[in-house]
Amino acid sequence: MRVLLPKIQKPAAEHVDVVATLQETWTPQPQHLRAKSFPTPFSQAEMMTHVLGMLKLESGGRPEDITRLNPDIQQSYERWELLLLGVALGELAIETVDLRQPTFDNFGRMVADLRDECRFVSLIRDLRVAGPRGTAMLVAGTDPECLFWCSARVPTYWNALKTRISGHAFAPEARQLLAEWRGVLQANGAWNLEQGPVWQKALHIALDGVPPTSSTAKLAADARFVGPVYLEVPRKQEQGEVDYLALYLPVLARGWGFRFQDLLFLKPIERGAGAVTLEDTTTQRVIARVAKSVGAARGDAPSSDPASAVSSERFEFLAGVGRLDVDESAAVHHGQLHWLDDQNGQPGYRSLVVAPLLEAGARSLRRAVTEADVRAFPTLFPDALRLVFSGGEATSADEVRVQLSRHVTARRSAGVALPQTGLPPKAWKPGQAVPNVVAIPAAKGAAAIGLVERYGPEGRAQDVGELRALGLAMWLYYLGECEVQSERGLIVWSADEGQELFGRVRTAEGSTSLELWPHGLRLANEQSERARAKDKRATLQRFLVTWARKGEGDSDDPRVQGERIGAMAALAWIQHVMGGSDSELRPFGPATKRAPDAFALGEGLVLPLFVDEYARE
**pLDDT digit string (tens) for 254-272?**
888 878 877 887 888 888 7
Percent of the chain whose pLDDT exceeds 70: 76
Residue-wise pLDDT for 411-453, tens only, equals 777 667 788 888 999 899 888 889 999 988 876 666 788 899 9
Radius of gyration of the chain (CA): 32
pLDDT band at 200 (very low <50, low <70, confident <90, very high): very high
Q: Quickly state the pLDDT bin for 92 (edges 50, 70, 90).
A: very high
Is the pLDDT at 392 greater than 80? The verdict is no
Residue 294 CB contacts under 8 Å (≥ 6 apart), including other chains: 274, 316, 319, 320, 321
Least confident of 18-32, 252-266, 360-374, 409-423: 18-32
Residue 16 has pLDDT above 50, yes or no: no
The reported pLDDT for the residue numbered 75 is 62
* pTM as predicted: 0.74
Q: Give burial (CB, 10 Å; 0-12/13-18/19+) of 368.
A: exposed
DSSP 125-154: EEEEEE-TTSSEEEEEEEETTTEEEE-TT-
Tens of pLDDT along 598-608?
787 776 778 88
pLDDT score of 496: 73
Cα distances (Å, whole numbers) of residue 367 to 304, 362, 370, 373 = 21, 5, 10, 11
Per-residue pLDDT of 271-303, as tens digits, reads 876 788 888 776 777 778 887 644 333 233 333
In tens, the pLDDT along 459-506 reads: 778 888 999 999 998 998 898 888 887 766 777 777 777 788 887 655
Phi-psi region at 551: left, alpha or beta (left = phi > 0; alpha = psi -120 to 50): left
Residue 346 has pLDDT above 80, yes or no: yes
DSSP class of residue 267 equals E
Alpha-helical regions (H) of 370-465: 371-376, 383-391, 406-410
pLDDT digits (tens, 9 = 90+) for 43-64: 888 888 888 887 777 665 555 6
Burial 594-611 (b: 16+ CB within 10 A, else e): eeebebbbbeebbbbbbb
Sign of CA dihedral 61, 64, 66, 71: positive
Question: How far is 30 from 39, CA to CA, in rounded Å?
Answer: 17
Measured in degrees and rounded to the nearest 5, phi and psi for residue 495 equal -75, -5
350 in Cβ contact with 342 (< 8 Å): yes
- pLDDT, residue 238, reads 65
The helix-helix angle for 518-525 and 466-478 (nearest 10°) equals 90
